[in-house]
Structure 1
Amino acid sequence: MVRFEGLRRRAGTVATILAVALAYAVTGRLGLLAQVVVEGARITPLWPPTGVALACLLLAGVRVWPGIAVGLLLVMASLGTLTPAALVVAAGATAGPLCSWLLLRRLGFRNELDRLRDGLALVFGGAFAGMLVSSGVGSVTLLVTGRLSGGDFWSVWSAWWTGDAMGVLVVTPLLLGLRAAPSLRRSDLREWIEPSVLVAATAAITAAVTRSPLHMLFLLFPLLVWAALRTRLVGAAPCVLVLSVLTVVAATHRQGPFADRSLVENMVVLQALNGAAALTALLMVAVVSERENTYRKIEEVCAVLTEVVAGLAPSDGSGRTRDRIGPPPDRADGRAAPDAEEAG
């Protein structure tokens, strides 16, 4: 029986690793659809697999890390021959999410993202700090192998780093928020109306402003604030994802406000917009959730105090609490009325 349980546990682990590899490979192929060439290197402004990898590590544990490596190798094999330099890049891209996971564990990160410290940890630890590893290893490898000149190093590294960091900021909260999403079988369908309307409105407005020559991308932020205040991660994370994907497509195709700028300028504007949108939604969700948790704790304390006060109140022989607290009233002759024991 013990041996059967061990085999079943190992089979479950293998299945989870394969699922992570498949998810990484699929999102990697989708990310490559919007790649751009920066100083001869192919860079994606938004690399979703980093967000998928970190979310899988947070939800399933470090045991699924081979799935990240396998999925990355599948993506790189679809682009060409796996050279030693490609294997080094793959190792760095695998180490990046692992470093982010270790850093978040050290910071006491909670997957519910219901505290401000959790939002800050994911932004500055999981995204900005952890992705320095993957982008640094990849850029240095290109520099050492001669595929990148020294003068172009920093531009390629910054584009690589921001693409990986945006993947964490956009995709990881979305996957973590799926755990808090109401089940269609257990909840009223009306709970899905407002998040669906907000996502649809974000898609419509983003499509409109990215096709207009006027610079009106700021119109998207009221929707993000509304989604964060009303629906938390369930609505805010999909809105950020839709906004990021549509703006990446517009920037790579030089549409709307991205038409008259150079590629580098478009990448700067794009990453600033997506980063600001993700930060706004993520931190606001964390602040609102933390406030609600504080109110809930106050209510629980008040309920406990009410029970304590009720238990301390004196009661008559039948166990019911007396309506009057204090000594019995005096009699007409001026002497205190006797207690029940004295009267007996």
Structure 2
Amino acid sequence: MAAVVGTSDLRRPAVLALETAAVAACYYAAGRLGLLRQLVVEGAVFTPIWPPSGVAVACLLIFGIRVWAGIALGALLVIMSLTALRPYALVNLVGNTAAPVCAYLMLRRVGFRKDLARLRDGLALVFLGALTAMLISSTLGVGLLVVTDRLATDSFWPVWLAWWVGDAMGVLLVTPVLLLLYTLRSPPPLTRWKEATGLALITVALVPFATHSHISLLFLVYPLLTWAALRFQLAGSMLCALFTSVMATIAATDEVGPFAELTRIEVMIKLQAFNGTMALTALLLSAVITEQRNTRRSVERACQELVEVLEHLTAGDASHGRPPKDSDGIPPQDH
């Protein structure tokens, strides 16, 4: 017994070290991916979607609070890849670590479920995990720029808004997809593959056209999101939303399509408004549909169990030679 306990105690630090290293690697990879597309607002460079924030929240929800060091290590690696490590950079490190940790704690507090099968889970992820918690990283990050005289005071709010929305979009778009991959237990039925293939082909063809056309056709993606949510719930709607957001970000950073001939502030506002409304639509609509379907299945299961109980009682009465009773418990009588 002592040998078994000793082996188990030795495995725990090793597992924690592997989890921490994996989280740090994923955070760093997501950061490098997010830096591929950038916008400039008031002289400050920011990313319209910051995937590491979504990766961090998802990892905390999956592995627990014990992997916070992996988030800090990943954030440190991203900072070191951008600039020399200076004492004030630790403020960004604290903000990028504290924001997802606070998101995790608030979501745990309200009983968040990783399958996002309830409307309350979608609302919690939006308002607590994304919009509220990401205030920490954006406020500390932009405040540091002002304090170190790298950003003018009157430019605080535009840059703060861009930073905050970028972090929030990472949570809204990336976290649901990662949680979906974690909770997925079996592929969709083969009968749905034809429809899924058709939806994917139409999305791949229509979304780049809508996001790069000089005519404002961004509204065309909403029927696709509705179709994906109705037929494939979270898996369909969030994958469609993520792909659309990436295409819109590419168009915005290249200043083509509906983002051509706009000022940088206008590009930022239009892109973030589109990405935000699209992510909210996809997440909340799929959560409502999933909750309704689960409720219907629960009712159908309860009705089936009730039918089985009544059949069992009827069979028991018949085997004892007793006449079946009516709804008032009184045997029927001849009149």
2:100 to 97, 122, 130: 97
Match of 1:144 in 2: 147
Match of 1:36 in 2: 39
Q: How much has 1:208 moved relative to structure 2?
A: 0.8
Match of 1:333 in 2: none
Q: How much has 1:76 moved relative to structure 2?
A: 1.1
Q: How much has 1:109 moved relative to structure 2?
A: 1.0
Q: Distance in 1 between matches of 2:301 and 2:81?
A: 56
Q: How much has 1:11 moved relative to structure 2?
A: 1.2
Match of 1:11 in 2: 14
Contact 1:181/1:234 (8 A) holds in 2 = no
Match of 2:267 in 1: 266
Q: Distance in 2 between matches of 1:113 and 1:258?
A: 33
Contact 2:314/2:324 (8 A) holds in 1 = no
* Cα separation, partners in 2 of 1:254 and 1:312, compared to 1, 3 Å: same
Match of 2:224 in 1: 223
Contact 2:114/2:183 (8 A) holds in 1 = no
* Cα separation, partners in 2 of 1:314 and 1:252, compared to 1, 3 Å: closer
Alignment size in residue pairs: 329
1:111 to 103, 110, 114: 114
Q: Which consecutive unaligned segments of at least 5 residues does structure 2 have?
A: none
What value does the CA root-mean-square deviation take over the aligned residues? 2.2
1:153 matched to 2:152? The reply is no
- Describe the superposition over 1:245-283 as per-residue Cα deviations: whole angstroms up to 9, x where unpaired: 110010011001101111110111101111111111111
Bigger Cα displacement from structure 2, 209-218 vs 312-321 = 312-321
Match of 2:242 in 1: 241
Aligned letter for 2:77? L
Contact 1:170/1:237 (8 A) holds in 2 = yes
Aligned letter for 1:216? L
SS at structure 2 position matched to 1:265: helix
Contact 2:39/2:268 (8 A) holds in 1 = no
Match of 1:278 in 2: 279
1:50 matched to 2:70? The reply is no
SS at structure 2 position matched to 1:84: coil
Q: How much has 1:117 moved relative to structure 2?
A: 0.8
Contact 1:116/1:283 (8 A) holds in 2 = yes
Q: Distance in 2 between matches of 1:164 and 1:328?
A: 70
1:63 matched to 2:66? The reply is yes
Aligned letter for 1:235? G
Q: How much has 1:9 moved relative to structure 2?
A: 2.1
1:72 to 66, 75, 98: 75
Q: Distance in 2 between matches of 1:251 and 1:157?
A: 19
SS at structure 1 position matched to 2:182: coil
Task: Considering fraction of residues, name the structure with more helix.
Answer: 2
Match of 2:133 in 1: 130
Aligned letter for 2:56? A
Q: Distance in 2 between matches of 1:328 and 1:207?
A: 70
- Describe the superposition over 1:205-262 as per-residue Cα deviations: whole angstroms up to 9, x where unpaired: 1211222110010001000010011001221111111101110010011001101111
1:204 matched to 2:205? The reply is yes
Aligned letter for 1:305? L
Match of 2:303 in 1: 302
Q: Distance in 2 between matches of 1:317 and 1:234?
A: 50
Aligned letter for 1:7? L
Q: How much has 1:203 moved relative to structure 2?
A: 2.9
Contact 1:314/1:321 (8 A) holds in 2 = no
Aligned letter for 1:232? Q
| Percent identity over paired residues | 52
- Describe the superposition over 1:17-74 as per-residue Cα deviations: whole angstroms up to 9, x where unpaired: 1111111111100100111222222210110110111011111111111111111111
Bigger Cα displacement from structure 2, 222-231 vs 204-213 = 204-213
Q: Distance in 2 between matches of 1:160 and 1:93?
A: 12
Bigger Cα displacement from structure 2, 34-43 vs 142-151 = 34-43
Contact 1:45/1:159 (8 A) holds in 2 = yes
Q: How much has 1:182 moved relative to structure 2?
A: 5.5
Contact 1:195/1:234 (8 A) holds in 2 = no
Match of 1:24 in 2: 27
Contact 2:318/2:324 (8 A) holds in 1 = no
Q: Distance in 1 between matches of 2:78 and 2:104?
A: 22
Aligned letter for 1:134? S
Aligned letter for 2:61? L
If the length of structure 1 is used for normalisation, what is the TM-score?
0.89
Aligned letter for 2:111? G
Q: Distance in 2 between matches of 1:14 and 1:148?
A: 38
Aligned letter for 1:225? T
Q: Which consecutive unaligned segments of at least 5 residues does structure 1 have?
A: 331-344
Name which one, 1 or 2, has greater alpha-carbon Rg: 1
Q: Distance in 2 between matches of 1:284 and 1:329?
A: 54
